[in-house]
Amino acid sequence: MAEIVLDGVTKRYPDGTTAVSELDLKIADKEFIILVGPSGCGKSTTLNMIAGLEDISAGELTIGGARMNEKAPRDRDIAMVFQSYALYPHMTVAENIAFPLRLAKVGKAESKRKVQEAAHLLDIEQFLDRRPAHLSGGQRQRVAMGRAIVRDPKAFLMDEPLSNLDAKLRVQMRTMISRLQKHLGTTTVYVTHDQTEAMTLGDRIVLMRKGVVQQMGPPEELYEHPHNLFVAGFIGSPSMNFLNADVTSDGLQTVLGPIPVSDRMRRALEANNAPAQVIVGIRPEAFGDARLVRERRPEGHDLTFTGHVDVLESLGAEKFAYIDLGSSGAIESEHLAEAFQGNVTDQSRSQLIARLDPMSRARRGENIELDYDPDAIDLFEPETGVNLSERV
Ligand SMILES: Nc1ncnc2c1ncn2[C@@H]1O[C@H](COP(=O)(O)OP(=O)(O)OP(=O)(O)O)[C@@H](O)[C@H]1O
Ligand SMILES: [Mg+2]
């Protein structure tokens, strides 16, 4: 049993930086939790406090019911895997994996059996006699995982373990880690700044911003019901589209044209004392090629608008149309600026991205009529970023 509980855990560095602020998090036994957020939001600090590599300034950490705040890292019975593999170059793969067992004075036969078992799980049996220098990055990372696995720890703590690998290998390793975690049933806390990794790996996501948790829950929940602009912008690739809207008695006035407001939405706006200007959020997949939609659903009466296709990306199973909205579409929001940090394709805020069926005849440089469902939109308060439509 290794439930990990953080109760009001706070980290203040000596220079006054508050890296993590009153974090409450209950990680169930066997659960796979992802800490995600932009650079500097406090992910590694949180992980390091769980590991005992950083002191906890306030609050309490328990693992398996026992208070850990004052316990040394080696007494916490957890294994860490980092971005850098930190393997011993002069040892073979087998010796590297066996290293923690040697420290724990585990017998030769037992140690050999455990190394074999881990190597089998990780599919690196054929490399056991090699030295790390003669392995690929992915293989090295698997050796590092092996070293964590043989200890049979209460929990795995992983800090961006895949970020040194190329994109394809990352996807393979992701699948492997996910399978391995389910197989071993070891409580795992995994840090990444990559929302795709977060969406695909864990049971639950904890999305942080400047040391404060913005939302935690299963991936679909953050995707479908983001609590605020930051969450909405951070989760999803390509990101949700955002537009300014004036709230009038006839509905929302946007650069796409007027959007009628449903009764539910109207109630939400009133209940929240919504300002006269809000931000509309629409996911790329909420749009469709109007021509195709009409063919398939003649009775459909969603909203349509016509836009100019600046860029078209055909990925086989889907097409992404980048629609130029001009400067009137641009949004200034610190919430979004932070959510999009480092995400180059989303930085141009006067663009709308529509995910279209591969059958769409959208062409670069031409206009296209797009269809969208007014009920698929979210409304946000521009200042606070709060999702108005979620709080009815
Ligand atoms: N020793 C330190 N002294 C003062 N501030 C620190 C120290 N270590 C980290 N910080 C600050 O604490 C905040 C959180 O850092 P942390 O390393 O936890 O971020 P992170 O979410 O892991 O980011 P990244 O994705 O870049 O790894 C940052 O603002 C960082 O500058
Ligand atoms: Mg970090």
**Could you tell me the distance, in angstroms and rounded to a whole number, from the CA of residue 158 to the centre of ligand 1?**
16
Regarding whether 172 and 250 lie in a shared domain, the answer is no
Residue 149 and residue 100: Cα distance in Å, rounded?
10
Query: What is the rounded CA–CA span in Å between residue 355 and residue 84?
Result: 36
Confidence of residue 172 (pLDDT cuts 50, 70, 90): confident
Mean pLDDT of 157-172: 89
Which pLDDT band, with edges at 50, 70 and 90, does 42 fall under? Answer: very high
CA of 312 to the centre of ligand 1 (A): 38
The ligand 1 atom at the shortest distance from the C-alpha of residue 46 is: 18
342-348 LR contacts (CB < 8 Å, sep 24+): 342/38, 342/39, 342/193, 343/239, 345/238, 346/233, 346/238, 346/239
CA distance 44 to 55: 13
Residue 291 CA to residue 136 CA, distance in Å, equals 49
| pLDDT average, residue stretch 200-214 | 96
Residue 1 pLDDT class (50, 70, 90 cuts): low
- Phi, psi of 298, deg, nearest 5: -60, -30
What was the pLDDT predicted at 367?
Answer: 96
- The residue with greater pLDDT, 85 or 67, is 67
Which ligand 1 atom is the nearest neighbour of the CA of 38?
Answer: 25
- The pLDDT of residue 348 is 47
Confidence check: pLDDT of 136 > 70: yes
Ligand 1 near 349 CB (within 6 A): no
Q: Whose CA is nearest to atom 26 of ligand 1?
A: 39
* CB-ligand 1 contact for 40 (6 Å cutoff): yes
Task: Tell the residue number behind the tokens 């521009």, with chain if given.
Answer: 382
pLDDT of residue 301: 63
Please, which pLDDT band fits residue 345 given cuts at 50, 70 and 90?
A: very low
Would you give the distance in Å from CA 269 to the centre of its chain?
A: 29
Do 251 and 215 reside in the same domain of the chain? no
343: confidence class by pLDDT, cuts 50, 70, 90: low
Q: How far is the CA of 147 from the centre of ligand 1 (A)?
A: 26
Distance CA 8, CA 13 (A): 16
Residue finishing a domain among 179, 205, 227: 227
* Same-domain check for residues 207 and 253: no
pLDDT score recorded for residue 346: 45
Residue 381, pLDDT above cutoff 90:
yes
Q: 262 with 341, same domain?
A: yes
150 shares its domain with 296:
no
210 lines ligand 1 (CB under 6 A): no
Measured from the alpha carbon of residue 37, the closest ligand is 1
| Contact 19 CB / ligand 1 (< 6 Å) | yes
Q: Is the pLDDT of residue 127 over 50?
A: yes
pLDDT of residue 102: 92
Residue 16 sits in the same domain as residue 157: yes
Q: Which of 46, 41, 44, 43 is nearest to 338 (CA)?
A: 41
- Among 11, 12, 13, say which to mutate for ligand 1: greatest number of ligand atoms within 8 Å of CB: 13
Whether the per-residue pLDDT at 285 is higher than 50: the answer is: yes
Residue 52's closest CA among 80, 22, 31?
80
- Has residue 120 got a pLDDT over 60? yes
The protein residues having their C-beta less than 5 angstroms from ligand 2 (an ion) are 44
Distances (CA, A) of 79 to 74, 101, 149, 150, 365: 9, 12, 8, 10, 53
CATH of the domain at 274: 2.40.50.140
Q: What was the pLDDT predicted at 344?
A: 46
What number does the ligand 1 atom closest to the CA of 37 have?
21
Closest ligand 1 atom to residue 43 Cα is: 21
Q: Look up residue 117 and give its two tokens.
A: 């078992």
Ligand 1 neighbour 209 (Cβ under 6 A): no
| Nearest protein CA to atom 20 of ligand 1, as residue | 40
The mean per-residue pLDDT over the stretch 140-167 comes to: 91
Average pLDDT over residues 253-262: 92
Domain count, the chain: 2
Percent of all residues in the chain with a pLDDT value above 90, rounded to a whole number: 75
Tell me, what's the pLDDT at 112?
95
Which conformational region is residue 68 in: left (phi greater than 0), alpha (psi within -120 to 50 degrees), or beta? alpha
| Domain end marker among 227, 257, 277 | 227
User: 254 with 132, same domain?
Assistant: no
CA neighbor of 375 nearest in space, from 252, 247, 292: 252
- Look up the domain containing 217 and give its range: 4-227
Q: Which of 41, 57, 207 to mutate to test the pocket of ligand 1 (most atoms within 8 A of CB)?
A: 41
Name the strand (E) or helix (H) holding 21: strand 18-27
Query: Ligand 1 test: best mutation among 10, 12, 20, 43, most atoms within 8 Å of CB?
Result: 43
Calculate the dihedral angle through the C-alpha atoms of 66, 67, 68, 71, rounding to the nearest 10 degrees: -90
What are 83's two structure tokens?
Answer: 């971005």
Residue 301 CA, distance from chain mean position: 34
Tell me: do 208 and 189 sit in the same domain. yes
Are residue 48 and residue 169 in the same domain, yes or no? yes
236 and 323 together in one domain:
yes
Spacing, Cα 57 to ligand 2 middle (Å): 19
Confidence at residue 217, expressed as pLDDT on a 0 to 100 scale: 97
The domain that contains 173 carries what CATH number?
3.40.50.300
Q: Predicted confidence band at 358 (pLDDT cuts at 50, 70, 90)?
A: very high
Confidence at residue 347, expressed as pLDDT on a 0 to 100 scale = 46
Atom of ligand 1 nearest to the CA of 208: 21
273 band by pLDDT with thresholds 50, 70 and 90: confident
- Does pLDDT of 118 surpass 70? yes
Question: What is the mean pLDDT of the segment spanning 248-262?
Answer: 91
13 Cβ closer than 6 Å to some ligand 1 atom: yes
The span from the CA of 143 to the CA of 157, in Å, is 16
pLDDT in tens, 82-104: 888 789 999 999 999 999 999 88
Considering the domain architecture, whether residues 64 and 178 belong to the same structural domain is answered as: yes
Is the pLDDT reported for residue 169 higher than 90?
no
Percent of residues, the chain, with pLDDT higher than 70:
96
Q: Using 50, 70 and 90 to split pLDDT, how confident is the model at 309?
A: very high
Q: What is the mean pLDDT of residues 209-237?
A: 96
- What pLDDT, on a 0 to 100 scale, did the predictor assign at position 349? 52
Model confidence band, residue 331 (pLDDT cutoffs 50, 70, 90): confident
- Of 227, 253, 268, which residue is a domain's last? 227
What's the N-to-C CA distance of the chain in angstroms?
39
- Whether residue 345 sits in one domain with residue 310: yes
Distance 61 CA to ligand 1 centre (A): 20
pTM: 0.92
